[in-house]
Chain A
Amino acid sequence: MIQNMLICRCEEVLLADIVASIENGAGTLKAIKMETRAGMGICQGRTCRMLLEQVMDFHTDINVQEANNLSYNNPVRPISLANLSRSGKDSEP
């Protein structure tokens, strides 16, 4: 029952999916993200980033709290394409 909890609400990823991903060899938060899409939805992991770290910490020997291996990327908040084009930024990394 517990394994059926939603962890990433945006992408509808269950705890069971994340644990399975680890069991299948995902050894980094990035690998879990790539496989399950957890953290890749509209909120960009604002709810589940911390939860993914905790699942990793609990189910592996990796101490993610020391590693902080999920990066943040621009845009850190949702922005419409219309407003993005208005910002006049088109060649930034």
Chain B
Amino acid sequence: MPMKYDLVIIGAGPAGMGAAIIAASHGASVALVDENPVPGGKLRGQVYKEPKANWWIGQEIARNMEKEIKQLGVTCFLEREVWAIYPKWKIMLNNGEQLESDYVVLATGAIEKPIPIPGWTTPGVMAIGAAQVMANIHRVKPGNRVAIIGIDALSLTIAYDLKMAGVDVVGIYLPPFNEFSLDKSNPLKMIAYLSSLSHLAPNPILKLLGKLGKQASVQKLGVNYYPPFGMRVWGIPLHLRKAVVQILGDELVEAIKVTTIDRSGELETKQEKRIPVDCVCISGGLYPLVELANVAGCAFVYVEDLGGHIPLYSDEMETTQSGIFVAGNSTGVEGAKVAMAQGELVGAIISNRLGLLKHGTELIKQAKEKVNVARKNAVIKFHPTIESGREKVLHLWNEKAVK
């Protein structure tokens, strides 16, 4: 028997919960679906000190939002996966349940890109996000001696998390050049990327790198004179001139093989060194998880600045399929605060469509402004050009509307 709701939200991370709270507080009947046993999504793994404020403790924020959701009478379908969306709109859950609604919010977040290197399927190798979930949510060390491959905002943040959890992080290395690593294996390009990260970043590694210099000439100097033993930040050696060329071990990770690389990313194979570790974390970046928008028939665009293929959406976050909305990282990879604000915006827009708001236009305007403010004040930018990516989507939407 299908269960009917005013709104069905898929994904109970910051975006999905934000949308649920706003819509339910205006009187909508809301169903919230998530594959995990507890709402919160990746918000639950976040812990950092904010530049001018207190600690941002994701677990606590998620718990408070969960309380609010329960008080507002949102129906939660936890430990359920959505396996299909049929028009207009039936949401199929993997335990056989079926939800029905005119309005659906896809808040499915992002997933990690792997960077395959030889040995990457050995047990003990994991995506960097998995290490964060283990350490910060489950309070389990992913390993005692951990090597991290891939230098980006996420891996540096989690290196710091692991260090705080008492893990010996033996180093952060580049991947070797291959089909999958491309620019991520190039020291010069990595310095340019690192210096584009916000200087407001919430951990000392990112802060230091943000100060490294934004000029190309300075960046080049940085690569040429980068110390061969790495730069120690918070006790973690950060290697811009070393790549992990192989992960060793039969049944379990036993060691990594590290090679020095020249300034353009070429390997100097004579300089190979074996370093014992029991866990390797690979960070290849995030991209929006969009499979449900795809099967629902939404039109797609490719926007590099937002993380890749995304469903085309309007300034009201609606896709080309009427009634299907998007919020959070499935529209482009950004931080939890932006995702939450996007969720609240969608919650307001749908409440208005349902005829629940008296001053809808004004509320929606305020919610849009909140998204912009959150984006402007973001401490970590996963894509330095996120704003231009967002503008590009609106431009593409308007172009489509004219046609």
Contacts and interface: CB of A to CB of B under 8 A. Distances in A.
Tier of interface size on chain A: 35 or more
Interface string B157-182: 00000000000000000000011101
Contacts of A77: 81-83, 94
A34 to B, nearest CB: 20
Interface in B107-154: 111, 113-114, 116-118, 120-121
B96 A54 contact: no
Given A65-B308, A72-B295, A6 B178 contact: no
A18 B179 CA distance: 12
B114 to A, nearest CB: 6
Contact of B111 (A2, A46, A57, A78): A46
B98 interface: yes
Contacts of B97: 87
B302 interface: yes
Nearest to B309: A68
A2 to B, nearest CB: 6
Contacts, number: 89
Contacts of A24: none
**Size bin of chain B's contact surface:** 20 to 34
Contacts of A82: 96
B31 to A, nearest CB: 16
Contacts of B92: 74-75, 87, 89
A46 to B, nearest CB: 7
Interface in B77-109: 81-84, 86, 92, 94-98
A22 to B, nearest CB: 11
Given A83-B96, A89-B92, A6 B121 contact: yes
Contacts of A38: none
With most chain A CB atoms within 10 A of its CB, the pick from B83, B294, B309 is B83
B120 A5 contact: yes
B287 interface: yes
A74 B83 CA distance: 6
Quick one: which of B116, B121, B292 has the most chain A CB within 10 A?
B116
Interface in A29-62: 46-47, 50-51, 54-55, 57-59
A55 B179 contact: yes
Nearest to A83: B96
Nearest to B120: A5
A71 B298 CA distance: 12
Contact of B295 (A9, A74, A80): A74
B397 interface: no
Given A66-B302, A68-B309, A76-B83, A59 B179 contact: yes
A83 B94 contact: yes
Nearest to A48: B114
Nearest to A63: B302
Contact of B96 (A7, A65, A87, A92): A87
Given A5-B116, A72-B294, A51 B180 contact: yes
B292 A76 contact: yes
B301 to A, nearest CB: 9
Contacts of B81: 77, 79
A76 B178 CA distance: 30
Interface of A: 1-2, 4-7, 9, 15, 46-47, 50-51, 54-55, 57-59, 65-66, 68, 71-80, 82-84, 86-89, 92
CB-based closest 5 A-B pairs? A86-B96, A75-B83, A74-B84, A58-B179, A72-B294
Given A59-B179, A75-B92, A77-B94, 13 more contacts: A1-B246, A2-B178, A5-B116, A5-B118, A6-B116, A47-B114, A51-B116, A51-B179, A68-B309, A72-B294, A89-B86, A89-B92, A92-B86
10 contacts: A2-B118, A6-B116, A6-B120, A54-B179, A54-B180, A74-B83, A75-B83, A76-B82, A84-B96, A87-B97
